[in-house]
């Protein structure tokens, strides 16, 4: 049942996405040169139609399908467990925070706090280990990228 619902919602989102692509994004953000045998809009439109048809098929199959008792692993794969997504979201926000701090202040101000936050999110509880690991990792990665590989981190 959970998989049916998630497939139906996925199908609806895909249909909406393909409609936005087809009727708004492609006409406004893809040039239409008529030189050559094919317009530059052809392939974006082809991909869009495939997404739309796929979304429609997903909805149709989900609606028409009977509701058998699917295997346990199928349920797990198809369903979204919202209680666990919060930590994943916090990890994503920490990474976004790194990007902002990195742009505004630079690597040495961005890396240590973000590494510390990520460590806590991944289960670290000892403050000394968190501080030491954050400091050592920041220095080690700077040495690898900036000094070892000559890739400037600024």
Binders of another protein in range 84-113 (CB under 8 A): 84-85, 87-88, 90-92, 94-96, 98-99, 102-103, 111
Tokens of 118: 């990520």
Count of residues engaged in binding another protein, rule: CB under 8 A: 73
- Compute how many other C-beta atoms are within 10 angstroms of the C-beta atom of residue 90: 14
Q: For residue 119, which of 31, 111, 37, 50 has the smallest C-alpha distance?
A: 111
Q: Rounded to 5 degrees, what are φ and ψ at 17?
A: -60, -45
Closer residue to another protein in complex, CB, 63/153: 153
Closer residue to another protein in complex, CB, 19/40: 40
Tokens of 34: 């008529």
Residues 115-134 that bind another protein (CB under 8 A): 115, 118-124, 133
Residues 2-61 that bind another protein (CB under 8 A): 3, 6-7, 10, 14, 21, 25, 29-33, 35-38, 40, 43-44, 46-48, 50-51, 54-55, 57-58, 61
Q: Rounded to 5 degrees, what are φ and ψ at 7?
A: -65, -40
Min dist. Cβ of residue 132 to another protein (A): 10
Min dist. Cβ of residue 16 to another protein (A): 14
Q: For residue 77, which of 10, 12, 144 has the smallest C-alpha distance?
A: 10
């Amino acid at each position: 049942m959970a998989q049916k619902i998630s497939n139906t919602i996925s199908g609806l989102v895909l249909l909406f996405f393909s409609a936005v692509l087809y009727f708004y994004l492609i006409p406004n953000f893809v040039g239409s040169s008529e030189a050559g045998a094919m317009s530059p809009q052809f392939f974006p439109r082809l991909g869009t139609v495939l997404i739309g048809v796929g979304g429609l098929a997903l909805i149709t199959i989900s609606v028409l399908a009977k509701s058998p008792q699917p295997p346990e692993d199928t349920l797990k794969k198809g369903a979204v467990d919202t209680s666990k997504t919060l930590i994943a979201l916090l990890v994503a926000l920490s990474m976004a925070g790194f990007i902002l701090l990195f742009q505004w202040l630079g690597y040495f101000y961005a890396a240590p706090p973000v590494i510390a936050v990520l460590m806590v999110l991944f289960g670290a509880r000892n403050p000394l280990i968190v501080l030491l690991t954050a400091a050592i990792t920041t220095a080690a990665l700077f040495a690898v990228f900036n000094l070892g590989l000559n890739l400037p981190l600024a």
